[in-house]
Structure 1
Amino acid sequence: MLIADEFFLIIHNDSRGKAKLHPTATGLGLAGGLLAELVLHGHATVSSGLVTVLDRRPPADALAHTVLDQLVGETQQHPVRTWLSFLAQTATISVGERLVRAGVLRRQESRRLLRTTVSYLPIDLNAVAWPATRLRALLDRPEPPSVPDGTLLGLVVAAGLSREVLWSAGPRAHHRLGVLIPALPPPLRELVAHTEAAVGAAVLRGVG
């Protein structure tokens, strides 16, 4: 499962599909996940606060392809924070729909006061709970997590959701989570830091 998908499930680990974060913070975390997917697959990098495209060849995943096309479509480089804010506007729906296509969630629409609300409900509660459970187990193992898993953990911390992974973990897991993010490759470490800053700014504005 891709990083943004697992991040989505950690945020929406609820039988009603209700998010554990404000929509703005949720969108920013998912946007960080979508950019991380491109970095991990060599399509883009993050350096000195900017996102740079490295490989324009289309990724296999349709959503990653769409995000890469958006990056390529700009005539100049933009700051990471700009891309996070832009992608955050549609990230929840985009990733939710990807999980619907994968058969993990089902889409539900409800109308209230002339407004349509979309929710993504779990088909299997165990599948939705698995990403947080898996990360918790990884932190208790002696071997270090993979770079994708380390990045996912970094985004979880950046969004203020570390309790979702650590709620029943032992001292080893708490310690390892603290040293894991600084050990990420520089582009991913920087992306996590910018995501955390963007979420923090949203909280200060009273929307997180």
Structure 2
Amino acid sequence: MLTLAQLLSSLFAAVLITATPGPDNLMVLGVGMSRGRWQGIVFGLGCALGCLSHTVLAVVGVSALIAASPVAFTVLKWLGGAYLVWLGIQALRSTGAGRVAASGAPAQSLRSLFFKGMVANAINPKVVLFFLSFLPQFVVPAQGQVGWQLGVLGLVFTAQAAVLFGLLGYFAGTIGAWLNRRPRAGLWLDRVAGAVFVGLGLKMIAGR
């Protein structure tokens, strides 16, 4: 079972990471601005639910790795920690120059937009690597039921992503215009997320 501290710390990190301007949330903002609120919300929910496929991969892969070799799991955590540190450094070096495009686009059904968002997230290899690096950070093998811990952590990440992406889609016009007028806001969000990534990565490498 997960402790309250595990849940809260993973939720805090997930919210910071999801709120940072990146490909997924900028796409949600773009869809919301160019097509409308409901379209942005539905596309965002699709992106969020795409995380479930990565959660399944993490549950199956990491659980099997722990059962086969605790040493291999330790190596995975070190590699995952190094990857998170690298992501953090990239975010800290970012210029925060991402802008939201709001050009007109051909009409698409809500169902089509939902599956487009879900597939775009599910087949992204960078998101697969991120989940395999991020979720084990909050797993405590000594508590047992590692698969359950990973599954719950993945659902927590997916749920907060659905809420944030839904809000991004709904307020797309306002948020997109605000970010485009204030590029330094994206810069500071990158700085915060970068610090979180580096901190998580170093914590994983240290094994604490």
TM-score normalized by structure 1?
0.27
Structure with a larger share of its residues in strand: 1
Structure with a larger share of its residues in helix: 2
Larger Rg: 2
Q: Return the structure number with greater relative CO, CA threshold 8 A, min gap 6.
A: 2
